[in-house]
Structure 1
Amino acid sequence: MSNSHLFMKSGFPRAALNNGIGRYVCQLQRITIKFCKHHGDSRGVREFLEYDLVNFAKENPGVVVYVKPRRHKTPVLCAEYLNGEKHSIYCKKYTVEEVNKWIGLLRSQSGDTSDFRLRKMWHTDHPSIQGPWTPFTFRDPALNLVQFPDAELSKEKYEPTATDRLLEIFKNQQADASVKTNSTE
């Protein structure tokens, strides 16, 4: 087992600003798209700007988009989030589809990129006072010592339902009626 988690922050996963409890607030504040107008490495970013940028801006009115042409530089997507975090993705030789996917990922993230060791996969702010439930919580402890298969446990132990009782009464009435017809003959 590694000890790499010793210097990581640990805690419980939480939504940023209780995001999604009242309404969803996109955490991406602004995205800056830096590219070269002539270099071949920026072709996918240029095509994104030409065909998909307007649709992205219409679908995400809360995100400010800056376009910054730079000569002879690698294309970069720089994202800034509400919590002050910044992400940069270098898009050298990316296709339009890859640029779309990366921008979609940046839009859907919360901006918290710190290495964070999760203590649990789930968390609640109001834990149950009854304790955790398992399928074995209310089982008879004597079952721990039983050798299976056990003839006693395989017997059906149930009270007859109202339907079972009605069927039994109906069968008894039919049997009585057939006995009476046989005895009169």
Structure 2
Amino acid sequence: MSNKNLFLKSGFIRAPIQNGVGRFVPQLQRIVLKFCKTYGASQGLREFIEQDLVDFAKENPSVVVYLKPRRHRGPVIVAEYLNGDRVWMSVHNKTHSEITKWIEVLRTQQGDISSLRLRKYQYTDYPSVQGPWTPFTFKDPELNTAQLPDPHFGANDRLPITATEKLRLLFEKQKLSDVKTAE
């Protein structure tokens, strides 16, 4: 493990507030669009504000949108999430379509999980003492040393015959009856 993990906060990746169980709770709480009214690098963000911002606000009523004009500064988007994370993104010289895509990315994610050191790969609200379930959890331990195929473990001898086997048996009976009638 490198020492960069010493400075990352640790946690779990999990659906917050049982998200998706019962109802969906959008995680984006607030988005702040900081731009300059005259600066050339803010052109894409100004176009987004003029053309798509009202539609974005109508489609996402749970997201509070702030516009913050600043003189002679680069354009910035700051997204704040329900879990307290803040994602700061510079959109310097980005086009209108790129900004639309980035805002959609910010809207659909649950915060800044790239700066999170994972403690475990799995998480549950109700942990089990026995560990995670696998397909081999309730198998008979004798199966580990058995030579397969073994009629004791498999139902191969008790399976009903297949349609192909049935046809083959009928064909052989018909052949035998044809031989007997020919004699």
- State TM-score, norm by structure 2: 0.74
Larger radius of gyration: 1
- Is residue 69 of structure 1 aligned with residue 69 of structure 2? yes
RMSD: 3.2
1:148 equivalent in structure 2? none
The structural deviation recorded for 1:60 is: 0.6
Q: How far apart, in 1, do the equivalents of 2:55 and 2:23 lie?
A: 23
Give the direction of change, closer, same or farther, for the CA distance of 1:47–1:81 in structure 2 (3 Å limit).
same
2:41 is matched with 41
Q: Which consecutive unaligned segments of at least 5 residues does structure 2 have?
A: 150-155
Is the CA contact (8 Å cut-off) linking 2:42 and 2:74 kept in structure 1? Answer: yes
Cα offset for 1:169? Answer: 4.3
Aligned to 2:62, the other structure's residue is in SS state coil
Q: Distance in 1 between matches of 2:20 and 2:9?
A: 24
- Measure the CA separation in 1 of the matches of 2:180 and 2:59: 83
Alpha-carbon distance, 1:10 to partner: 4.2
* In structure 2, distance between residues paired with 1:40 and 1:164: 76
1:61 CA drift (Å):
1.1
> Does residue 28 of structure 2 align to residue 28 of structure 1?
yes
- Give the aligned partner of residue 97 of structure 1: 97
User: What is the letter of the counterpart of residue 173 of structure 2?
Assistant: Q
Residues 1:141 and 2:145 are matched in the alignment = yes
Deviations 1:42-81 (A, max 9, x none): 0000110111111111111111111121211111112222
Where in structure 2 are the equivalents of 1:120-135 lying within 5 Å? 120-125=120-125, 131-133=133-135
Taking the aligned partners of 2:3 and 2:109, their CA distance within structure 1 comes to 28
1:119 CA drift (Å): 4.6
For structure 1, which segment, 74-83 or 46-55, has the greater mean C-alpha deviation from structure 2 after superposition?
A: 74-83
Using a 3 Å threshold, how does the CA distance of structure 1 residues 166 and 28 change in structure 2: closer, same or farther? closer
Q: 1:109 to 1:131 in 2, by over 3 A?
A: closer
% identical aligned pairs: 49
Gapped regions of structure 1 (runs ≥ 5): 144-151
Label 1:70 to 1:120 Cα distance change in 2 as closer, same or farther (>3 A): same
Q: Which amino acid letter does the alignment assign opposite residue 69 of structure 2?
A: P
TM-score by length of 1: 0.73
**Taking structure 1 as reference, are residues 109 and 170 closer, same or farther at Cα in structure 2, changes over 3 Å only?**
closer
